[in-house]
A and B are shown apart, each in its own frame.
Chain A
């Protein structure tokens, strides 16, 4: 009977490979695997515009600001975007992470990376991050309502996110006033003037002259 050879280096390398492989499998496990029921959201947009749908798997490459950007995202941004793998998004392609728009004035930088399923993951510096794989009639812009130090005090509430290529302006309604959001390369950003101001909806205008009003939730 042949004896099994004793090779420490091979054992160590094999152990590391097995451990690394297990870690890769765990990190790639989807958090949710079922298909959701498609139903109308409680925050239904109203208006005249008809949203153009993107074929499955091609969403990230359909965002003009993303395909146009040649600025590689900083490593920290690519790493943060890499944590968004799973949940049906697929694997985030960190090597393709780019800067969508740079920080200027009070506007933060936006970073984005595609996934191997064609979704787009993005991170607003100083704000939230997440992924999505298309605009729909009920979800015509990807918005985030956020407040780092809590609503009603300190830094005012911010509304920011990603808009389709054919959006020309985005207005943010607070009470009876409408304020213009900054819209650059598919990214939009607006910070309310006062800490107690509550954005209630977005007025989204399109290049064909149509528009949509997108209601926003009040932070609980």
Chain B
């Protein structure tokens, strides 16, 4: 029985099967990783503003940080004004909406927790 199945599987179908298996193995973690891109990361550095240089569309803007420290995120528009501004001490500090053409930025208002913070955009 097994030998018959092996015979039936041509080289082409085996190649196709291997491709499907590789796709099914790699696609889900790729999607999970591709959702967020880190544009700045560090420890402490209160008062610092970190802006991603690339003008593009973005799905969201957020910073993961230690709870009870104040952060601010925003999109910078081409005329220098801001959109999607939010400040709080929640974790993450997140603006969960998209924008067509902007630069995402994050500002550390008072985080000297010693915990690594990570500013991310969604694409």
Does A142 interact with chain B (Cβ within 8 Å)? yes
- Over the window 23-35 of chain A, the binary record of Cβ atoms lying under 8 Å from chain B Cβ atoms (1 yes, 0 no) is 1011100011011
A11 and B21 contact, CB distance less than 8 A: yes
Residues A144 and B88 in contact in the complex (CB < 8 Å), given A26-B32, A31-B118: yes
B68 and A138 contact, CB distance less than 8 A: yes
Does A43 interact with chain B (Cβ within 8 Å)? yes
- Over the window 22-66 of chain B, the binary record of Cβ atoms lying under 8 Å from chain A Cβ atoms (1 yes, 0 no) is 111111110111000000000000000100000000000000111
Residues A42 and B110 in contact in the complex (CB < 8 Å), given A130-B90, A142-B88: yes
Main secondary structure, interface of A, reads loop
Could you tell me which residues of chain A, from 105 to 142, have a CB within 8 Å of some CB in chain B?
A: 123, 127-133, 136, 138-139, 142
A150 and B82 contact, CB distance less than 8 A: yes
Residues A80 and B96 in contact in the complex (CB < 8 Å), given A19-B27, A22-B28, A41-B70: yes
Residues of A within 8 A of B27 (CB): 19
User: Which residues of B come within 8 Å of A, CB atoms?
Assistant: 2, 5-6, 9, 17, 20-29, 31-33, 49, 64-70, 72, 74, 77, 81-97, 107, 109-110, 112-118
Subset of 5 A-B contacts with CB under 8 Å: A15-B20, A38-B68, A84-B94, A129-B94, A130-B94
